[in-house]
Amino acid sequence: MRSSGWIRVSALGLVVGLAACASYEPLELPQRPNLASRLAQLNLALPSGEPNHATKLDAERPVTPDQVGLLAVVNNPELAAQRGKVEAAQAEVVTARALPNPSLTFAYGLLVSGPGTADSITASISQDIQSIVTYRPRVAAAESRFRQVGADALWQEWQVAQKARLLAIGVNADAREIQLREHALELLTNELSQVRRAMAAGNLALTALAPLIAAEATAQRDLAALRLTQIKDWQELDALLGLQPNVRFDVSSPEPVALPPDIDPLIETLPTRRPDLVALRLGYDAAEADVRAAILGQFPTFGLGVAGGSDTSQVLSIGPQITMDLPIFNRNQGKIASARATRLELRAEYLARLDDAEGTARGLLVRARAAAANLARAREASTVASSQLEAAQRAFGRGNISQRDLADFQAAALERQIDALDYERTLQENSLALSVELGLGLPQTMPVPPTQEKSL
């Protein structure tokens, strides 16, 4: 081949290589916050149990705690960073699937002097063989890590959803308790007015007023503290949803709790269902692939290709070219030892997490059952206290008991109602924590690499 032919081939290869390169596109940072001023401005397409299917939430209707959790999954600002990690892991899969480019060498020597009759040309092309030998385990490790990152991201979504649901249960319980305390304070205020009028008429002594004043002060203090707690819960919930801190919306009461009678079957299938355990298993699979790749990496760096050219006397030559390392000092033992140590560490971490998951789930079930029993007793006591209050009100109307005695019956009935509300909230929170520990109650969807089926 003449020298002009070599030059044309080289130029064509350069043009083809540049044509396949990606182009630069700037991505500007946002210039202002993006908090929504009302619920309707959020992404209301909630994920469901069916793949690639979402349900649209009606922002004008009361939202259940479960719906609040799903709203947090699709709108929480911090979860966007988790999705960025998934994209980065996807890029690692693309990198692992791509073989290294062949190496091309070209040299052109101008004839300056001597007996030669033409310029010299030398060219060679070679391919790294070691990358082909380790290709399959490297790709398997990258794909497992991609799914691991996806499972970790899903677990983070579950944590955000759990916190949002707990806060939704809290703001609903706060509102119900505030309503009870406001009603009790209103009754107490009316009684104080009646006592003051009786004192002004000379029918009651000053000593009858002191206990009611103290009770009113306590009720006002407790109500103020509860309102501050409600504001704090709302602000935390707004932050999780990407809302401005003053946004309020209707949160409905949670559904009644139905505890599982036996969690042994759920614990047996826990490793295939809970995202963090799935992530650890996928990380272990990646470590297994790393060990195989490290062992295959003992195969020395080996390049195989073809070299040829013509010298200054126009003698043409072509033949195979082999380049390889001699495995005398480095036989990849360091990478093999590191990969095996990582695999052993992940195995121990997985077992510890699995043990913790079982122990936590069983402990939560015990606490939830105790809360359910306490709730039943508290509701029964509240019913009795309400009946006693009705009887006391009738007795007070007939003049058989004093205003102070009636206030005591009212305080007792209020405390019983609040006790029942507290136990109900505790039961709801324990039940929610149990469902998350068992890997239940939220959609199980994970991103997967192209050409791969979705699974968890």
Other beta carbons less than 10 A from residue 51's beta carbon: 10
- Report how far Cα 78 is from the mean position of its chain's Cα atoms: 9
Give percent of the chain with pLDDT exceeding 90.
24
Report the C-alpha gap between 242 and 38 in whole angstroms: 10
Last residue of some domain: 289, 312, 331?
331
Q: Establish if 248 belongs to a structural domain.
A: no
Stretch 335-347: mean pLDDT: 88
| CATH number of 195's domain | 1.20.1600.10
Q: Establish if 43 belongs to a structural domain.
A: no
Q: What are phi and psi of 256, to 5 degrees?
A: -60, 145
Stretch 114-143: mean pLDDT: 82
Last residue of some domain: 315, 331, 347?
331
Tell me, yes or no, whether 290 and 338 share the same domain: yes
Show Cβ contacts of residue 446 under 8 Å, excluding neighbours closer than 6 positions: 147, 150, 151, 153, 154, 275, 454, 455, 456
Q: Are 402 and 187 in contact (CB under 8 A)?
A: no
User: What pLDDT does residue 444 have?
Assistant: 61
Tell me, yes or no, whether 304 and 417 share the same domain: no
Domain carrying residue 320: 104-133+299-331
Tell me, yes or no, whether 413 and 273 share the same domain: yes
Q: Establish if 276 belongs to a structural domain.
A: yes
Closest CA to 64 of 251, 256, 257: 251
Tell me, yes or no, whether 387 and 304 share the same domain: no
Stretch 59-71: mean pLDDT: 89
pLDDT tier at 194, thresholds 50, 70, 90? confident
Tell me, yes or no, whether 275 and 357 share the same domain: yes
Q: Establish if 25 belongs to a structural domain.
A: no
Tell me, yes or no, whether 304 and 292 share the same domain: no
Tell me, yes or no, whether 266 and 315 share the same domain: no
Q: Establish if 58 belongs to a structural domain.
A: no
Decide which of 132 and 170 is more confident: 170
Q: Establish if 365 belongs to a structural domain.
A: yes
Decide which of 207 and 285 is more confident: 285
Tell me, yes or no, whether 359 and 383 share the same domain: yes
User: What pLDDT does residue 169 have?
Assistant: 93
Token digits of residue 146: 């991609």
Tell me, yes or no, whether 215 and 348 share the same domain: yes
Closest CA to 312 of 119, 121, 122: 119
Tell me, yes or no, whether 261 and 355 share the same domain: yes
Tell me, yes or no, whether 190 and 262 share the same domain: yes
Tell me, yes or no, whether 326 and 338 share the same domain: no
Number of structural domains, the chain?
2
> pLDDT digit string (tens) for 302-331?
677 777 777 777 778 787 877 777 777 777
pTM: 0.77
Last residue of some domain: 314, 331, 348?
331
pLDDT tier at 451, thresholds 50, 70, 90? very low
Closest CA to 343 of 415, 263, 283: 283
pLDDT tier at 14, thresholds 50, 70, 90? low
Residue 384 has pLDDT above 90, yes or no: yes
pLDDT tier at 26, thresholds 50, 70, 90? confident
Q: Establish if 454 belongs to a structural domain.
A: no
Arithmetic mean of pLDDT over the chain: 82
Q: Are 123 and 31 in contact (CB under 8 A)?
A: no
Q: Establish if 456 belongs to a structural domain.
A: no
User: What pLDDT does residue 57 have?
Assistant: 85
